[in-house]
Chain A
Amino acid sequence: MSDKERSSRRDFLKLAATGAPVAAVAAVSGATGAEAAVEERAGEGLRVTEHTKKYYESARF
């Protein structure tokens, strides 16, 4: 990437992303808990969550 491209990208991002600084949130909450080489993860579909745990419990007999 040329210096010119790099600087136009930076200028664009500064304009586009500066409108919503959210550092406070990221800094305080420390991302989602991923460790150094570790991927964190989210919640939904098929994983065991509080919700599905309850469902499994209720379905057990």
Chain B
Amino acid sequence: MALPDTDMRLDLAEEDVLRADLYDLLSLVLARPPSKDLITKISELTGDTSDLGQGINALSRLARQVTPRAVEDEFNTLFIGLTRGELLPYASYYMTGFLNEKPLAILRNAMARHGIERAENVYEPEDNIASLCEMMAGLIRGRFGDPADLSAQKDFFAAHISPWAEHFFTDLEGAKSSVFFAPVGAIGRAFIAIEREAFRMGA
């Protein structure tokens, strides 16, 4: 839970800080049931009238109404379940129909190139959406070494996120069990579309 980002934030362009913050937010809420503190923080966010801003407003509104327990139940129903959750937020699953497939192997190669290792206490395949968002934020901020330049970011995004993340976030937004996570899906969908368009413009 160290905060390596804050010191480096000064060197980043404003828009890159915004991007990394959004990736981190998505990672935080999707990695595990959001804590009471995180929910409180989310309740203080405000957005503008854009799709992204509206998603933030909807999430913030819900954060003021929900209990951590209810969010945890929803998280478990969506992602864990007794045998499996309603959704399988893995690149391999979305790209091939199966878990632990080639997209995971390709990701592991990319992680090695960027000096990213998974934490020892983590057993889940790395190609889950929370980890991928965390990796993008880390590449932007330089958490794994020097900040990745735009073309390296673009390559990572194009290979591991762009092919499936919008589809996943759309599923999350519309999932039967989604309440708190519906606007998370909306935010993710809007943000990934912005990222795709921005990478198309440059890099």
Contact residue among A13, A45, A55 (Cβ-Cβ distance under 8 Å from B82): A55
CB within 8 Å of B: which A1-60 residues: 1, 5-6, 8-10, 12-14, 16-49, 51-52, 55
Complex: how many Å from CA A22 to CA B30?
15
Bound form: Cα–Cα A7–B68 in Å: 42
Report how far A48 CA is from B50 CA in the complex, Å. 38
Chain A residues, CB < 8 A from B201: 5, 8-9, 12
Contact at B116–A37, with CB atoms within 8 Å?
yes
Residue picked from A6, A24, A32, most chain B C-beta under 10 Å: A32
Q: Is the CB of A26 within 8 A of B21?
A: yes
Task: A29 to B6: give the CA distance in the assembly, Å.
Answer: 11
Q: Is B3 interfacial (CB-CB < 8 Å)?
A: yes
Q: Which B residues are CB-close (under 8 A) to A47?
A: 122-124
**Which residues on B are within 8 Å of A, measured CB to CB?**
1-6, 13-15, 17-22, 24-25, 27-28, 30-33, 37-38, 41-42, 44-45, 47-50, 52-53, 55-56, 75-76, 78-80, 82, 84-85, 87-90, 99, 111, 115-119, 122-126, 128-131, 134-135, 137-138, 143-145, 150-151, 187, 191, 194, 197-198, 201-203
Binding site for B on A (CB under 8 A): 1, 5-6, 8-10, 12-14, 16-49, 51-52, 55
* 8 A–B pairs (Cβ distance < 8 Å), ordered by A: A1-B151, A13-B18, A22-B21, A26-B21, A34-B138, A39-B119, A40-B119, A44-B80
